[in-house]
Each structure stands twice: as structure tokens, then as C-alpha cells.
Amino acid sequence: MTDIQSPQSIELLTFQLADQEYSLDIMSVREIRGWTRATPLPHAPKFMKGVINLRGTVLPVMDLAQRLGLAAREQNDRNVIIVVKHEETMTGLLVDAVSDIIALTSDDLQPPPELSSGTANGVVNALTLIDDRMIRVLDLAATINDTESVAA
């Protein structure tokens, strides 16, 4: 262990996606909204739910489960849209339910083991254990930007 980099404290917002737990750095989260019907965009890839009205701006919404290639599930009242900001763009991520906010240090994160393939691999950049549950930490930039590969 070197002391060059002291462990940084980070806070993660955890949420459910197809019975799995994922999380995002809370600093990139702008707000959480209840599900409203999105206006579909013509010929959009499946994970693009469409656009919604976020207080006067047009917010694109992604179905995160479909984006990560997880099983489609029923829509229900607990579905929420997490509004995230990456660089200058705002995006809505549709998730099953928001669970918790957890505080930990960067020491608690461990890199995911190399998996053979799968779309979710590139977008999960760390794993952590909370109360014996594994939580995946999403790489927001990869989630939002690398849409070409999934859109095909």
C-alpha cells in the first residue's frame, strides 16, 4: 500500500435494475423524477425511450436495463428517471427503483474482473460490497456515449 493517493470518499446512489444493484457517483446525479410517458423518437434504438419535458427542456431518456442488455421487465409505479449530467449534456436514465445513498472510500472499490464479453462489461468500472451485496458502479461516460455499439 502506498500513501501517494489518500483514499477519496465518494457517495454513490444505488438503484435496482432487473433485480441487480447498480450505482452511480452521486455528483453526476441532478435529480430523480417519477416516470412520465416519453414521446418516442422515430426509428430510435430500443433503449431510447424518447424525450420528456424536464421543466421546459427536452430531456432524452434511456432505458438503462435495455441499454445494458438486461431483461426487459414490467413498468410499475416505482420506476423512476434519474437525471444525470455528463459534461454538458443532461440525460434521463430509466431504472426500476432507487434504493439508497451509500458513502464509502475509493479503497472500497475494486475493479471488475475481466469478463469475456457482454455489453455491460465496458460500462461497469468498479464493484463494491455493501452488507454482503455486490453493487456495480457504472461508468457514466461509457453508458451515455458508447451507444453506437448497442444501437446496432
Partner 1 sequence: MTVDNDPMAEIRASFFIESEELLEALQDGLQLMEDGAADNETINVVFRAVHSIKGGAGAFGLEGLVHFAHRYETVLDEVRAGRLQVEAEALKVFFQAADHLSDLVRISRDNEPLPDEETEVLLTALDAFLGDASPAASAVEEVIDFQPMGVSLDLGLAAEGDGGLPDLDALPPLDFGAAPRVYEITFTPQADLFDTGNEPATLLRNLQQLGKAKVVCDSSRLPPIDQLRPDVPHLSWTVTLETDVEESEIASIFEFVEGLCQLDIKRQGDRDSAELPPLPDLPPLDTASAKVEETAPTAPIEAAPAPLPTQTEPGPTAAAPAPPPQGAPTAAKSVVRVDLDRIERLVNLVGELVINQAMLSQSLEHSGLSPHSDAMSGLEEFQRLTRDIQDSVMMIRAQPVKSLFQRMSRIVREASAAVEKDVRLVTTGEATEVDKTVIERLADPLTHMIRNAVDHGLESKEARLAAGKPAQGKVNLSAAHRSGRVVIEIADDGAGIDRPKVLQLAIDKGLIPPDSSLSDSEIDNLLFLPGFSTADKVSNLSGRGVGMDVVRTSIQALGGRITTTSLPGQGTTFSISLPLTLAVLDGMVIEVAEETLVLPLNLVIETLTLQSGDVEMVRPGRNVVRVRSGFVPLFDLGAALGYRPPLDDFEGSVVLLIANEDETNAALLIDNILDQRQVVIKGLDESFYRAPGIAAATILGDGQIALILDSSDIISTAIPKPGLPQTGTDAGVPA
Q: Which residues bind partner 1 (CB under 8 A)?
A: 37-45, 48, 50-53, 55-58, 60, 89-90, 144-145, 147, 151
Please report how close the Cβ of residue 18 comes to partner 1 at its closest, in angstroms.
22
Please report which helix (H) or strand (E) contains residue 18, including its range: none
39 vs 110, beta carbon nearer partner 1: 39
18 vs 150, beta carbon nearer partner 1: 150
Sorted by sequence, the CB contacts under 8 Å of residue 55 that are 6+ apart come out as none
36 vs 110, beta carbon nearer partner 1: 36
9 vs 53, beta carbon nearer partner 1: 53
Please report how close the Cβ of residue 14 comes to partner 1 at its closest, in angstroms.
25
CA 27/CA 25 separation, integer angstroms: 5
- What is the CB neighbour count within 10 angstroms for residue 51? 17
List, as one string, the DSSP characters of 72-118: P----TT-EEEEEEETTEEEEEEESEEEEEEEEEGGG-BPPPPPS--
Please report how close the Cβ of residue 34 comes to partner 1 at its closest, in angstroms.
13
Q: Answer whether 85's CB lies under 8 Å from 30's CB.
A: yes
- What is the CB neighbour count within 10 angstroms for residue 22? 27
37 vs 71, beta carbon nearer partner 1: 37
The tally of CA atoms less than 13 A away on the side-chain side of residue 35 is: 16
Please report how close the Cβ of residue 135 comes to partner 1 at its closest, in angstroms.
26
Please report how close the Cβ of residue 33 comes to partner 1 at its closest, in angstroms.
12
